[in-house]
Amino acid sequence: MFDTSLRPLIDPPLAAGGRLLARMGISAGAVTFLGLVVGLLAALAIANEAYRAALLLVLANRILDGLDGAVARVSTPTDRGGYLDICADYVFYAAVPFAFAVADPGNNALAAAALLAGFCLTCSSFLAFAAIAARRGLDTDQHGKKSFFYSTGLVEGTETILFFLAMILWPGWFSEIALLFALLCVLTAIHRGWIAMSLFR
């Protein structure tokens, strides 16, 4: 929901960082892989209730996630890079609630399962929308230059990182935060489905 309005603020520093990394000979794929490793380390920190380390690692993961696209735009974006980027994102998104379930299964497992189910809905609606939009030749730069169609939703990248940070800052409230997030994911999938039914006639 907030991704589009934040783009003018975050794109310039990411573009500068992307140009610097490209000049250093660092590929977008390498940045994506590093971001994935950092994201999994964040999940490991959460599972071990090392929340200060997890906070820094989650922030680093999100910065790297923005930088890989910036590097790709400076060089040559590829379909393989776009595929790896979205896969790495969803591995990270799934790892965080799973890690909270591992940290405290008695209190967190049910809410983590609900959130993972919500992620399945948003993921499937997002990727199905992108696939059909590509087949119809639809395009948008509302979320910046991307490898495929990014459909707007109630919950996007900004909201995800804010909820993840809230979970890490207040782990005792994980269940309540995760259930609210899961509800918003369901509403996002419903809203995206309504748009798809109208657009893909």
Mean pLDDT over the full length of the chain? 86
Query: What's the mean pLDDT in 23-47?
Result: 94
The predicted-structure confidence for 14-24, as pLDDT tens digits, reads as follows 788 888 888 88
Query: What's the mean pLDDT in 101-120?
Result: 97
CATH of the domain spanning 3-199, picked from 3.40.50.10800, 1.20.120.1760, 3.30.930.10, 3.30.70.20: 1.20.120.1760
Is 129 a residue whose pLDDT tops 70?
yes
Query: What's the mean pLDDT in 16-45?
Result: 92
pLDDT-derived band at 144, boundaries 50, 70, 90: very low
User: DSSP per residue over the chain, as a string?
Assistant: --HHHHHHHHHHHHHHHHHHHHHTT--HHHHHHHHHHHHHHHHHHHHTT-HHHHHHHHHHHHHHHHHHHHHHHHS---HHHHHHHHHHHHHHHHHHHHHHHHH-HHHHHHHHHHHHHHHHHHHHHHHHHHHHHHHTT----TTSS-SS-----SS-HHHHHHHHHHHHH-GGGHHHHHHHHHHHHHHHHHHHHHHHHHHT-
Query: What's the mean pLDDT in 73-100?
Result: 90
Domain positions in the chain: 3-199
The predicted-structure confidence for 52-84, as pLDDT tens digits, reads as follows 999 999 999 999 998 988 898 888 778 888 889
Query: What's the mean pLDDT in 126-148?
Result: 67
Is 109 a residue whose pLDDT tops 90?
yes
pTM over 0.75: yes
